[in-house]
Structure 1
């Protein structure tokens, strides 16, 4: 809850800036025609609340820094490489409370469409692509056989909005949904079961275009 509250406060702070302030352009330049952008964000990732139906298993969310780099083929169409700059650490819980932890680090490549002209104060965008999420440092189940998770792979959908500060700098708020299962392994052998992680993310950050 503390993580959600912190992200909420950051998002409210971004939205509270007046449109006039966002519209200012300190160098007299224009955002149109710039082909590259990078964004650094604070992002919360929350897995599915019922990842293994019938098991009463639950996996907590976590906050980590993420970074994206985009190339704009046109002022409206972009290709984005997005990923976690650090690992999301998840607490795994069962009926009796905490039973372990696992780290997750996703990366994704998406095509995006940014609505409106580049110099508009607010620019919504949507995207669709492919992601992979690596799991590591699995410590689940105490002293029994090691339980591991294979890399989750699948589709990622993105929706967000950019708030132009000037021709170079902008603030961003975005949400992402990743659809994909992670196969379970016990002592290095597949169990035939899969965790339906299907995580969503919410992030706020600052970007620059070049």
Structure 2
């Protein structure tokens, strides 16, 4: 929880510092968002020692931060990042078994197309990749051993909308779907599992758009995006 709190404070601090350092600009080249995000894995598992065993990963709310850079007025790249703690539970022949909890660091990088605004509504779509680092696995009901998961990569699709609320600020809603797998193991038990994660990631939050040169104190006028 301390790590989650640090992410929230960092995100809020960055947004406030940006707001103080520069005037909002809806044609600016940088957009920062602070969000609350629902991570809902569409998970299943194939366990090596029992074909009747399955597993699912918990659905969780986590704080998230995005940083978007606009190359043109329509084309941008977004980095989405956060930390979260998830839990794995047994299903099928393992129903009711606590398979362990674990932390994730799951950044997503997408290339986006932002449509021209319509009455303050600015929808966008994107595609990219997610990398997940799993760490600090907790103890399970499988002999008290800790769960361990291999880092994984997956393909991500994205859609969302920013709604202008004035002075460079937006309200935001965003949805991402990612397809990825990982391998789980429990030391000294001989138990291994091929885990399908495939999370649906739904975010709502607030964003602030500005010119990066303003934040860095440049005296030169920012070039207009084309």
Relative to the length of structure 2, the TM-score reads 0.71
Q: SS in structure 1 opposite 2:53?
A: coil
2:123 is matched with which residue?
124
Confirm or deny: 8 A CA contact 1:149 1:182 kept in the other structure.
yes
Q: Distance in 1 between matches of 2:127 and 2:32?
A: 18
Confirm or deny: 8 A CA contact 2:43 2:196 kept in the other structure.
no
Confirm or deny: 8 A CA contact 2:76 2:112 kept in the other structure.
yes
Q: Distance in 2 between matches of 1:183 and 1:80?
A: 28
1:88 aligned residue (85, 89, 95)? 85
For residue 146 of structure 1, report the CA deviation from its aligned partner. 3.5
1:37 aligned residue (11, 21, 31)? 31
5 Å-filtered alignment, 1:17-96, equals 31-32=26-27, 34-52=28-46, 54-84=52-82, 86-94=83-91, 95-96=95-96
> Against the structure 1 CA distance between its residues 189 and 83, is the aligned structure 2 distance closer, same or farther, given a 3 Å change threshold?
farther
> Against the structure 1 CA distance between its residues 189 and 209, is the aligned structure 2 distance closer, same or farther, given a 3 Å change threshold?
farther
Q: SS in structure 2 opposite 1:165?
A: strand
Give CA deviations for 1:22-41 in whole Å, capped at 9, x if unaligned: xxxxxx98512x10000010
Q: Distance in 1 between matches of 2:187 and 2:88?
A: 21
Q: SS in structure 1 opposite 2:26?
A: coil
Relative to the length of structure 1, the TM-score reads 0.76
2:158 is matched with which residue?
158
Q: Distance in 2 between matches of 1:98 and 1:78?
A: 42
Unaligned runs of 5+ in 1: 1-27
Q: Distance in 2 between matches of 1:201 and 1:110?
A: 14
For residue 93 of structure 1, report the CA deviation from its aligned partner. 3.7
Report the RMSD for the aligned CA atoms in angstroms. Answer: 2.6
Confirm or deny: 8 A CA contact 2:24 2:169 kept in the other structure.
no
Confirm or deny: 8 A CA contact 2:34 2:207 kept in the other structure.
yes
Q: How many residues align?
A: 180
Confirm or deny: 8 A CA contact 1:146 1:188 kept in the other structure.
no
Q: SS in structure 2 opposite 1:112?
A: strand
